[in-house]
A = this chain, B = another copy of it.
Amino acid sequence: MSYLTDAPIDSATLMRSVLRLSDGAAIVFDGVVRNHHDGKQVESIFYDAYRPMAEKEIEKVVRAVEREFPVVAIAVLHRLGELRVGDVSISIACTSPHRAEAYEASRAVIDRIKKTVPIWKKERGPNGEEWVGWQT
């Protein structure tokens, strides 16, 4: 299964894809395009990726967090391309018999994905566009 998609994300379906009969808790984290960043207005975001490497790096994060929380099942889907305000850019579903581990795993997955996965975003707003994160 791919962790990347060019289509809108259906978080509920993602969650159901990992939910087991023994799970009592499901945490879904959705990253959403918001209308502001660093004080600037945002209208849309273009997500670019080094796709095969991004797939591998997300897989590494998922496997590592699953090893740390063996009772948790994890699904991740990151959308690429042009997204508008309100669109879901990433969805992370963590299911578990009890909720504590699902919350912990969910935060670990998003924190690590943001650090290591080769995905970039260009923000577009009324005053132009800019790739986020690399400053001149």
Asked if B24 and A34 make an inter-chain contact with CB atoms under 8 angstroms apart, the answer reads: yes
Q: Which residues 1-49 in A have Cβ within 8 Å of B in the complex?
A: 10-12, 15, 19, 21-36
Asked if B32 and A29 make an inter-chain contact with CB atoms under 8 angstroms apart, the answer reads: no
Dominant secondary structure at the A interface: mixed
Number of interface residues of A (CB under 8 A): 31
Q: Write out the residue numbers on chain B whose beta carbons fall within 8 Å of the beta carbon of A30.
A: 15, 25-28
Q: Write out the residue numbers on chain B whose beta carbons fall within 8 Å of the beta carbon of A106.
A: 27, 103
What are 10 A-to-B residue pairs whose CB atoms are below 8 Å? A10-B12, A19-B86, A21-B35, A21-B86, A23-B34, A25-B29, A26-B28, A27-B28, A27-B30, A99-B110
